[in-house]
Amino acid sequence: MSIKSPQTLIVEANKEIKTISADEALNLSKNNECNLIDIREEGELRNTGVIENSTHIPRGLLEFSLNANSPLVQNNLIDTKKDIVLFCAAGGRSALAAKTLKEMGFKNVSHVEGGFGAMEQKGFKIKK
């Protein structure tokens, strides 16, 4: 048995999921058409800031935080009728996370190509 590399898993995930550009994510966010979810770790947020109007759910808690019984869903902090747009620092973890959410049954899930770095360049407002 050979063990797959993270890069292989990301390539495989990208074949199954929807990838959007930072521009597309910005339009969805501005038009209030998505849940913009930052899956980076706490330390990353402290170092680079937080994208305005995004919800932080660390990658390790994503499946637990986005199920029908979670407080985020129960209290309508995440609107499951809207698209779910995930991002991380560069796009690798968010690709894997989008694949997982698709496997959970979410239909309108995508991730941002280039992650936070691309989003910062495209004019997302950053709160430090």
Query: What CATH number is given to the structural domain containing 46?
Result: 3.40.250.10
| CA neighbor of 65 nearest in space, from 91, 43, 97 | 97
pLDDT score, position 80 = 87
The whole-number pLDDT of residue 23 equals 97
Q: How confident is the model at residue 57 (pLDDT cuts 50, 70, 90)?
A: very high
The percentage of residues in the chain with a pLDDT greater than 90, rounded to a whole number, is 95
- Does the pLDDT value for residue 87 go beyond 90? yes
Q: Is residue 77 part of a domain?
A: yes
Assess if residue 63 is contained within a domain: yes
**What is the average pLDDT score of the chain?**
95
State the pLDDT at residue 41. Answer: 97
Task: Measure the CA dihedral 69/58/8/16, to 10°.
Answer: 40
pLDDT of residue 128: 87
In-domain check, residue 66: yes
pTM for the structure as a whole = 0.95
Q: Find the domain containing 68 and state its range.
A: 6-127
Average pLDDT over residues 55-83: 93
- The confidence band for 22, taking pLDDT boundaries of 50, 70 and 90, is very high
Is 1 domain-assigned?
Answer: no
Compute the distance between CA of residue 119 and CA of residue 99 in angstroms, rounded to an integer: 21
Q: Domain count of the chain? A: 1
pLDDT of amino acid 65: 95
Whether 23 is in a domain gets the answer: yes
So what's the pLDDT on residue 112? Answer: 98
Closest to 26 (Cα-Cα) out of 90, 112, 95: 112
